[in-house]
Structure 1
């Protein structure tokens, strides 16, 4: 069976995502990842005539592709503009033009102000000129989906004409994402049955969240190629996501292709970093949570006979299965995480730890595998860390062009101490006041070695802030976390937790 061609247009259509603009170096890196690692068949890297920066990016990609014998896999969008696009592409080192033509009568008459015959004559000129220059021509029928709904005779007239030229592929875009799956199937089938010898690509947009379903239906009609973008980047609602299309082709349609599933996550994360567009946590195949089981019932079933596995095994995509800890956790989730840590607990202790994890999850505190040793330590010592150290009051004062000031009042065992200090920031001032008290008492204290802040997406000013602080104390490293709507308060909560861990576990930290 001839493999389905996957043409990825992250670098052209994907870059039309609002706010996304790849640098020259990023474009080259993505091109190499797509062709070298993921093994897509073709990439569309730019539109001709856009900018000088775009020209330099394309030139870098074509130079690299030429040295690596894959120049024919690099495609550039061009326009029906006599020789202007061809000149640009040729100078940039390109060998394939994806010619943007009109796929609906409305576009020809309304935008070009020409007759179909005049438009076809203009296309013929570009195709002939490209052949003279050794440039392969693929053709986009822009607005083809609307053309099939409102001016099908015009579409057939165009394809009748194009199929008699030197055009290699005819590409069928649902430009405005208007098709539902039934319409996509019917329209693509009309093309493949009428023109069985023509290589058709299908190009989906996701305006109704139908892009992957429409690709599925198009492939069932026998189209030979499909277009994707990494992470579904693209104008408006984006394009068909490469990961979802790949999973669907492999598991549902069982269609041969050249792509390397194991590289999918790596490429996806790189594009996320370069684009600045986050991958939703529940995004199929590439999202953070998609291989994480939360329900204790599911974890129990997996323990007994992998009852909650499907074909999408995380190892296929360079991932691992995880078992979340929270209010829906059961003993099985805890067991899975303890296995990862190499810890065994007695049945009674397991019940206590499970209950503590559920309690924390009910308060919306995130519980990670790294937290388990501390939770276990707390639970097995009467269920909670004793608060021998309490922060009674504190005041933070920030005045423009002056250093922040912190005043604190803290209880250590039965004694109460107060101190005031300045610092380079509010938390720094708080810590300096705290350590003045500790130094006065001759107490050792840890060194802060890492400070990490996580703010959930959404941009709300009252969003919860999670602060995780890594401490080093007597040659050992441990972490504490605080959660609050205020970043400084979250850090202070993590600090008080740290003080009590040291106070209650002093033997644990001795050299």
Structure 2
């Protein structure tokens, strides 16, 4: 079977606490979702606000391939707002559980069924495709749930959707629940929430039982614990069930990063499929196996979803990874020196330290008796910051014995200093700050500050650290250490391949 993907990132996903997208952000995200290949984009709830309607109109006017849908309650005013936006369909939602009917709506079952009939007929009469959705359907009397759906189908609904609104299903219950609803004979959607961490599993069970469409969000964002994750569901269907969707799986990591940036909801590192640790290996046994044959410790290749494999240096690291990294640095070490490097890395790991690329370079250089090369050095740093003062930094760097001076502004003094450094380096190397992490190692106002950064240069990511009592100086030194590592590696590659 083929499965349709109904993406509700722009509606249910935007209901994540703290997330509010502008019309422009919604349009950019919708264009990416359409490029990704989802079948339906729920662009929002048109009744919400003037800005929401403008955002939906912008998406509709783009002429995307996906069906554009608006969420609507079973009331005329919501449907009119959707019609005003020019959408293709409405996701028409009626609460069906006695809990919702009694305490939220304060109506009767017959009232709810009539709302479903009247609103469906009104929407269909005005040219909209209706997907009739039952809110809190998994806590609804099943006989009444089927009555509401059948009444909606008779009124012209082309699809039905059963919402596990507070994530009460288990995979076993989901299989029976959605299987029984397929008897109504129209396309059925599974809409599962993740309150117990089962949204993807329950959606898969619903699809196995005969549902033909899955409601999902990118990164699984949404209210409370979120919704079924688009990337997890699609890759599980592709890899474990051999079931097709129209989604381009090679774009999933890129899509995930884009949504994280626009919403400000960043992923935990161990997030399946798209997390930064999804294809990261530290254990020596695992890393050695992956180097020899990736399938030993990876169920899918990172390239399948547009991700990258990486190896982490820590106390579990194996000798194979260290040897590979040292080779990449252009160094040749005998067994005695290698053992010294390896034991020092293990010692740092035992102290609870993460070993960055710059740490490894420094350890190797020290063991080899090589003076570390610093193409870029800090000569002057001036910071101006305070109440009602825009944080400003002036940075003077010596780049290959040539002095360059630039200034930058930012949301804080550290941000301003990094902006100034990037401006100074713009004609030398293109860098982007991927991650910035700070810890106070000791207590008190004079605490030592440990700053770890990750810098991106093209498809290469370099990590670096600096520990200082001054957070600004620690941040600047960490960034400059990373830049020097990038430039040194570039020289090594160019020496090996003059046409690089």
State yes or no: 1:276 paired with 2:264. yes
Q: How does 1:234-253 map to 2 (within 5 A)?
A: 234-253=222-241
- Matched with 1:78 is 72
- Matched with 1:175 is 165
- Matched with 1:33 is 32
Q: How does 1:307-386 map to 2 (within 5 A)?
A: 308-338=296-326, 340-341=328-329, 343-381=331-369
Unaligned segments of structure 2, at least 5 residues? 373-384, 390-411, 415-427, 456-461, 486-491, 493-500
Q: Report deviation, 1:181.
A: 2.0
Contact preservation (8 Å) 2:357, 2:463: no
Partner Cα distance (1:250, 1:364) in 2: 39
* 1:376-413 per-position Cα deviation (integer Å, ceiling 9, x unaligned): 2111129x99xxxxxxxxxxxx99999xxxxxxxxxxx
- Matched with 1:22 is 21
Bigger shift: residues 160-169 or 26-35: 160-169
State yes or no: 1:104 paired with 2:89. no
Q: Match for 2:186 among 198, 220, 226? A: 198
Partner Cα distance (2:479, 2:150) in 1: 73
Higher Rg = 1
TM-score normalised by structure 1 residue count: 0.75
Q: Report deviation, 1:125.
A: 2.2
Query: Using a 3 Å threshold, how does the CA distance of structure 1 residues 190 and 484 change in structure 2: closer, same or farther?
Result: farther
Q: Match for 1:466 among 446, 451, 456? A: 451
Contact preservation (8 Å) 1:298, 1:307: no
Contact preservation (8 Å) 1:97, 1:136: yes
TM-score normalised by structure 2 residue count: 0.76
- Matched with 2:466 is 482
Q: Report deviation, 1:21.
A: 0.4
Q: Report deviation, 1:15.
A: 0.6
Partner Cα distance (1:426, 1:25) in 2: 30
Partner Cα distance (2:295, 2:225) in 1: 35
Q: Report deviation, 1:31.
A: 0.5
Query: Using a 3 Å threshold, how does the CA distance of structure 1 residues 90 and 340 change in structure 2: closer, same or farther?
Result: farther
Contact preservation (8 Å) 2:356, 2:465: no
Q: SS at the partner of 2:160?
A: strand
Bigger shift: residues 314-323 or 108-117: 108-117
Query: Using a 3 Å threshold, how does the CA distance of structure 1 residues 463 and 123 change in structure 2: closer, same or farther?
Result: farther
Query: Using a 3 Å threshold, how does the CA distance of structure 1 residues 101 and 331 change in structure 2: closer, same or farther?
Result: same
State yes or no: 1:119 paired with 2:112. yes
Partner Cα distance (1:40, 1:48) in 2: 20
Q: SS at the partner of 2:271?
A: coil
Contact preservation (8 Å) 2:96, 2:112: no
Partner Cα distance (2:145, 2:157) in 1: 16
Unaligned segments of structure 1, at least 5 residues? 386-397, 403-424, 428-446, 471-477, 502-507
- Matched with 2:425 is none
Q: SS at the partner of 1:455?
A: strand
Contact preservation (8 Å) 2:357, 2:464: no
Q: How does 1:401-480 map to 2 (within 5 A)?
A: 454-455=436-437, 465-466=450-451
Bigger shift: residues 122-131 or 236-245: 122-131
* 1:19-40 per-position Cα deviation (integer Å, ceiling 9, x unaligned): 000111110011011111x111
- Matched with 1:57 is 55
Query: Using a 3 Å threshold, how does the CA distance of structure 1 residues 303 and 265 change in structure 2: closer, same or farther?
Result: closer
Cα RMSD between the aligned structures? 3.6
